[in-house]
Amino acid sequence: FFESKMTAATVSLGHKYCCLDQEHPDSKFIGANIPWYGPKHSPHDVPSFYDISGITENPKAFKLVIDYFVARYKAAGAEGPTHIAGFDARGFVFGPPIAMALGIPFVMIRKAGKLPGVLVTAGQYVTEYSKDEIVVRLGSVKKGDRVVLIDDLIATGGTALAGFDLVDALGASVYEFAAMIALPFCGGVDKIRAHRDGRFKDVSIFTMVDDKAIGPEMCRDPPEGTPRCVSTSEAEALASKLDL
C-alpha cells in the first residue's frame, strides 16, 4: 500500500494553535484533493462548501491525512489521548481509523435523536448553518479521560464549543481539537479561546490546511442548468456529459 513519509513540519499560528506548513508538498497535495462547490450545488447556502469526498475517494490522500494525525498523537506517548471523539457526521470519517491505529476508543458525538440507550447532552448550540444539539452515550467519556475532538473543518466554532462543553462537563479534558480544514475568517479559534472566560484558552488546536490552500481551481460547480440530483436512469448519460 502507499507509504506516507510525513515530512511536513508544523507551523505555529498562535498560542497552542498550529497547522502543517502550507508550502510543503504534502499540504499542497491534500489541498489539491479537496474540491469545493458554490451555493447552487451545496447542501448549505455558503460561498464555498468543501467536499471531503475528494480525500476519501483518493486512497493515497486519505492515508496521508490519517497518518499525519496518528503520528502526531503517537509522538505524545503515554501522555497522549485516551479517546478520539468525532462529530456527526464527517468526524466519523477521520476519527475511527485514527483511533484504531492508536488502539484507543472512538466515541461518536451524535446529533440528538440518533443514538440509542441512555445519553448525555450539553444542550442546544448555534452553528453557521442551524441550531443543533449533540449527545454521547452515557459512560463513553469519563472523568480523567483525555479526548481529541475531531471534525472535518472548523468555521465559526459552534460545533467545536459544544463538544468542549460536553467533554468538560463529564469530568474529562479536551486533549486537542483537530480538523483537516480551517476557515480562519470565520473566527472559530478565537471563539474557543474566549469561551467561558477563557476556560479552554490553553487547549491545543491543530489543523492541516486552511482555505487559502484550496484555490479557485478546485471549484467543481457544473455548467449552469445542471440539475442538483438525477435519477439512476439518467446518471450514466450525465456523468459522460460532465466527464466524470
Catalytic residue numbers read 90, 128
∠ CA 91-196-79, nearest 5°, is 55
- Pairing of β 146-154 and β 83-87: parallel
Question: Rounded to whole angstroms, how far apart are CA atoms 138 and 171?
Answer: 13
> Which DSSP string corresponds to 95-154?
HHHHHHHHT--EEEEEETTS--SSEEEEEEEE-SS-EEEEEEETTSS-TT-EEEEEEEEE
Residues 6+ apart with CB under 8 A from 48: 36, 37, 38, 211, 219
Distances (CA, A) of 30 to 54, 62, 97, 175, 208: 9, 9, 17, 24, 8
Closest to 159 measured CA to CA, from 181, 193, 130, 200: 130
3-state secondary structure of 23: coil
Which amino acid, one-letter code, is at 230?
Answer: V
Q: What are phi and psi of 166, to 5 degrees?
A: -65, -50
171: left (phi over 0), alpha (psi -120 to 50) or beta: left
